[in-house]
C-alpha cells in the first residue's frame, strides 16, 4: 500500500495558499502588460494576449517618475539616517538597564508608537506653518516621519541589543575603554545585523510614506512617488495599465529587496515585536 507523503502534500498546499495570497501582486504585473481594451474584458484574461511592455517607458516619461522616485529616495534616506542616528543609542540604553525610569521611558515610547499619522498631521502642519518649516517641505516631512519611525525602530533594535552579552562590554571597560569606545567598537559591531535590517525596513516604510507628504508638500517637484500615484488614482480611475505600470516600477525594488533579505527581515521583526 502506498501512502501519499504528508509533508509533500502540505508543501503543495502551502504554495497554493501563498499563490492565492500574492495574487494581487501577480495581477499588478499582468495588468500592466495588457492592452487598454483587454483590461476591461469580462471575464478577465489571466494571461495577457499580447504582452506589451512599452507602457513602462511611456509611464516613466509621462508621469515624470524620475522626479517622484528621487524625492521618495531623499525622504526615505533622510528618515532612515535620522532614525538610526537618534534611535540606536536610545535603544542601547533601554536594553542595558532595568529600572523604573527605563520602564517609564519604554512606556512613553510605546505610547508614541501608537499615535496615528492622521491624528498627528493636523497639529504638525499648523506648528510647522507657524515655524516657517513649510518652506522646506521635504525636511518637514522627514522630521515628521522620523518621529513616527523612531519608536518602532527603538522597540525592535532594543531586542537586538538584549542579545549582546554584557560580559563583552564589561571586559572592554576593564581593559580601559571609555563608554564611547566600548559602545562603538564592541556593542555596535555585535548588533550590526539587527540594526542593518531595521534600517532597511525603516527605509521601505518611509519610501512608501503618503499622508505627511500629501499634506505638507504642495510643490510637485518635491513630491514623492506615493503622492504622484495618488494624482491619477481614485474611485473613478480608468487608466489602469498606467496605474499598474507605475505601481510596478514603484514597488519592484522594495519587493526584490524583501525577497532577498526575507529571512533576516522576518527574524528581525519577530524577535522584538512582542517584547
Partner 1 sequence: MRRILSSITDGKGFDILLVSLTMIFLIVMAGLPLLYNVLMSFQQVDMFNLGTFSRPFIGLENYQDVISQPEFGLVMKNTAIFVFGSIIGQFCFGFALAIFFMAKFPFASTIRGLFLVSWVMPGLVVGALWGFILAGDYGVLNAILQALGVTNGTMFWKSDPNLSIWAVTIANIWLGLAFNMMLLSVGLAGIPGDLYEAAELDGANGWQRFSTITLPMMRATIGAVLALGLIYTLQQFDLFPAITEGGPANSSSVAQYWAWQWSFKLFDFAKGATVSVMMLIFVLIASIVYVWSTRHEVRG
CA dist., res. 166 & res. 152, Å (int): 24
CA dist., res. 199 & res. 88, Å (int): 10
Question: Would you give the binding string for partner 1 spanning residues 172-191, x where CB under 8 A is met?
Answer: ------xxx--x--------
CB nearer partner 1, residue 12 or residue 61: 12
Burial group, residue 33, by CB count within 10 angstroms (0-12, 13-18, 19+): buried
Among positions 131-160, residues that touch partner 1 (CB under 8 A) are 143-144, 146-148, 150-151, 154
Min CB(167)–partner 1 separation in Å = 18
Query: Which has the closest alpha carbon to 195: 86, 101, 72?
Result: 86
- Return the ∠ at Cα 191 (arms to 189 and 195), rounded to 5°: 110
Min CB(88)–partner 1 separation in Å = 9
Min CB(228)–partner 1 separation in Å = 10
Of positions 49, 58, 107, 220, contacts partner 1 by CB under 8 A: 107
Task: By CB under 8 A, tell whether 260 contacts partner 1.
Answer: no
Among positions 18-47, residues that touch partner 1 (CB under 8 A) are 18, 21-22, 24-25, 27-28, 31, 39-44
Task: By CB under 8 A, tell whether 240 contacts partner 1.
Answer: yes
Query: Which has the closest alpha carbon to 74: 184, 209, 263?
Result: 209
Question: Would you give the binding string for partner 1 spanning residues 190-229, x where CB under 8 A is met?
Answer: -----------x--xx-xxxxx--xx---------xx--x
Options 53-61, 108-116, 164-172, 188-196: segment touching partner 1 (CB under 8 A): 108-116
Task: By CB under 8 A, tell whether 244 contacts partner 1.
Answer: yes
Residues near 229 by beta carbon (within 8 Å), at least 6 away in sequence: 243, 246, 247, 250
CA dist., res. 151 & res. 242, Å (int): 36
Options 54-62, 86-94, 164-172, 189-197: segment touching partner 1 (CB under 8 A): 86-94
Rg (CA), the chain: 23
Amino acid at each position: 500500500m502506498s501512502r501519499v507523503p504528508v509533508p509533500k502534500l502540505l508543501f503543495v498546499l502551502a504554495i497554493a495558499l501563498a499563490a492565492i495570497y500574492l495574487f494581487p501582486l501577480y495581477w499588478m504585473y499582468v495588468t500592466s502588460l495588457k492592452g487598454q481594451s483587454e483590461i476591461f474584458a469580462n471575464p478577465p484574461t489571466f494571461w495577457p494576449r499580447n504582452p506589451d511592455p512599452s507602457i513602462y517607458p511611456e509611464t516613466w516619461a509621462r508621469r515624470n517618475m524620475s522626479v517622484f522616485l528621487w524625492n521618495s529616495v531623499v525622504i526615505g534616506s533622510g528618515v532612515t539616517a535620522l532614525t538610526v542616528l537618534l534611535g540606536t543609542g536610545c535603544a542601547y540604553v533601554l536594553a542595558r538597564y532595568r529600572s523604573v525610569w527605563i520602564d517609564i521611558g519604554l512606556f512613553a515610547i510605546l505610547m508614541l508608537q501608537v499615535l496615528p499619522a492622521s491624528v498627528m498631521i493636523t497639529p504638525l502642519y499648523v506648528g510647522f506653518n507657524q515655524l516657517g518649516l513649510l518652506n522646506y517641505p521635504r525636511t518637514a516631512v522627514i522630521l515628521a516621519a522620523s518621529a513616527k519611525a523612531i519608536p518602532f525602530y527603538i522597540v525592535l533594535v532594543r531586542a537586538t541589543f538584549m542579545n549582546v552579552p554584557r560580559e563583552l562590554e564589561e571586559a572592554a571597560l576593564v581593559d580601559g575603554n571609555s563608554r564611547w569606545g566600548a559602545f562603538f567598537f564592541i556593542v555596535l559591531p555585535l548588533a550590526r545585523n539587527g540594526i542593518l535590517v531595521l534600517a532597511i525596513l525603516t527605509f521601505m516604510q518611509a519610501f512608501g510614506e503618503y499622508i505627511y507628504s500629501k499634506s505638507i508638500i504642495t510643490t510637485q517637484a518635491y513630491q514623492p512617488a506615493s503622492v504622484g500615484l495618488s494624482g491619477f488614482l481614485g474611485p473613478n480611475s480608468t487608466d489602469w495599465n498606467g496605474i499598474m505600470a507605475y505601481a510596478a516600477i514603484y514597488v519592484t525594488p522594495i519587493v526584490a529587496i524583501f525577497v532577498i533579505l526575507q529571512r533576516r527581515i522576518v527574524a528581525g521583526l519577530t524577535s522584538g515585536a512582542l517584547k
